[in-house]
């Protein structure tokens, strides 16, 4: 057997439980670094309640002094229907799937069929799809003629706010990045200029500095220069994560993608992770599916996913943004 010819299709609950939900919940969702809403009703509405009012009252034996009802703010996440497709030479596809199956324990390689084969094919497609969702979540631009243009990403929304001075922002020069200590200056300046609610959110442990890879590397060089045994050990062994004053510094890992876009190539953003939303829906539109099949005319294995996705910023005031001029 040199080709994989059995077709597979996920729809309904299988589409959710086998394919998408494991990819968009738990640790997988945490890896995205933002708030993920999966299979919320379409269109997706996020309710924000005003919880900052003074609700304590002097005690009286009777009567209601609660005042007006709590204020509700609502944000809508508009979802676009998208399609993901991959095609492989049948021989190459067989080799890739065979390699994945061979790494499994207690697998009978003389009988490439059944659950192990399906898991290997599904894992192959999931890996590519998850990366494309992550990248589009950041750099998606529906106005672009090509590239990641299936739904608008977070950077497009943020850049629009920056251009209109709708958020606290400032620009820095390329020359400033020659000094590793400038990374810390950027963090401090964003913190000082941020919305007054930001310091209060630090206790929730959800704040983060989202940075382009050049700023992440600059901060690493700053830490490497510290004259301590720990800094030497980290320079030798690397660091799994970075933080500044307890706030994670997250590399958005877009270096190989940003160059083909009109977005700013170097940036730092301070916000709450819950403020950035990715919504994915596989339930509310007829025809949503994942399908894998063999095309004998082209001798090609093909994979297709149809679903809906979109992004939103819930509270623009909680964004602080710095970018290279």
12, with CB counted inside 10 A (0-12, 13-18, 19+), is exposed
| Length in residues, the chain | 325
Which is nearest to 117 in space by CA: 136, 134, 104, 131? 104
- Which helix (H) or strand (E) is 136 found in, with range? helix 115-139
Confidence of residue 79 (pLDDT cuts 50, 70, 90): very high
Instruction: Determine the average pLDDT of the residues in 76-92.
Output: 92
Look at residue 240 in the predicted model and tell me its pLDDT: 83
Count of CB atoms situated within 10 Å of the CB of 225: 11
Sign of the dihedral defined by the CA atoms of residues 156, 158, 159, 165, in that order: positive
267-310: pLDDT as tens digits: 999 999 999 999 999 988 888 999 999 999 999 999 999 999 99
* pLDDT of res. 171: 97
Q: What is the mean pLDDT of the chain?
A: 88
State the pTM of this model.
Answer: 0.87
Q: How far apart are the C-alpha atoms of 304 and 85, rounded to whole Å?
A: 4
- Which residue intervals of the chain are DSSP H helices? 12-14, 21-24, 27-32, 90-102, 115-139, 154-163, 182-193, 197-201, 213-224, 229-237, 255-258
The predicted pLDDT at position 114 comes to 56
Span 183-196, average pLDDT: 97
Question: Is 180 in contact with 222 (CB distance < 8 Å)?
Answer: yes
pLDDT tens, 20-74? Answer: 988 888 877 788 889 999 998 888 888 776 656 677 777 777 777 766 776 777 8
Mean pLDDT within 313-320: 94
pLDDT at 67: 66
Q: 3-class DSSP state for residue 42? A: coil
| Collapsed DSSP state (helix, strand, coil) of residue 153 | coil
The reported pLDDT for the residue numbered 1 is 52
Q: How many CA within 13 A on the CB side of residue 152?
A: 13
């Amino acid at each position: 057997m040199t080709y994989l010819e059995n077709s597979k299709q996920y729809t309904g609950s299988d589409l959710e439980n086998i394919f998408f939900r494991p990819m968009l919940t738990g640790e997988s969702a945490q890896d995205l670094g933002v708030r993920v809403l999966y299979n919320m009703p379409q269109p997706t509405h996020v309710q924000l309640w005003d919880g900052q009012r003074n609700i304590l009252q002097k005690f009286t034996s009777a009567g209601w002094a609660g005042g007006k009802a709590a204020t509700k703010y609502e944000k809508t996440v508009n979802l676009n229907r998208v399609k993901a497709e991959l095609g492989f030479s049948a021989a190459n596809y067989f080799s890739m799937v065979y390699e994945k199956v061979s790494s499994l324990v207690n697998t009978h390689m003389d009988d490439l069929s059944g659950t192990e084969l399906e898991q290997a094919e599904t894992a192959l497609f999931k890996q590519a799809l998850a990366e494309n969702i992550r990248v589009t979540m950041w750099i998606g631009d529906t106005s672009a003629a090509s590239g990641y243009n299936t739904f608008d990403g977070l950077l497009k929304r943020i850049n629009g706010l920056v251009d209109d001075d709708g958020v606290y922002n400032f620009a820095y020069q390329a020359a400033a990045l020659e000094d590793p200590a400038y990374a810390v200056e950027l963090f401090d300046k964003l913190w000082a200029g941020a919305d007054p609610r930001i310091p209060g959110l630090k206790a929730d442990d959800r704040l983060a500095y989202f940075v382009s890879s050049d700023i992440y590397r600059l901060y690493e060089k700053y830490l490497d220069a510290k004259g301590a045994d720990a800094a030497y050990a980290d320079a030798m062994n690397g660091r799994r994560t970075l933080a500044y004053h307890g706030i994670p510094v997250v590399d958005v890992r877009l270096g190989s993608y940003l160059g083909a876009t009109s977005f700013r190539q170097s940036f730092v953003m301070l916000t709450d992770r819950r403020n950035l939303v990715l919504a994915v829906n596989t339930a509310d539109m007829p025809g949503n599916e994942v399908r894998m099949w063999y095309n004998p005319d082209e001798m090609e294995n093909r994979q297709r996913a149809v679903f809906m996705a979109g992004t939103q910023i819930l509270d623009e005031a909680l964004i602080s943004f710095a970018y290279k001029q």
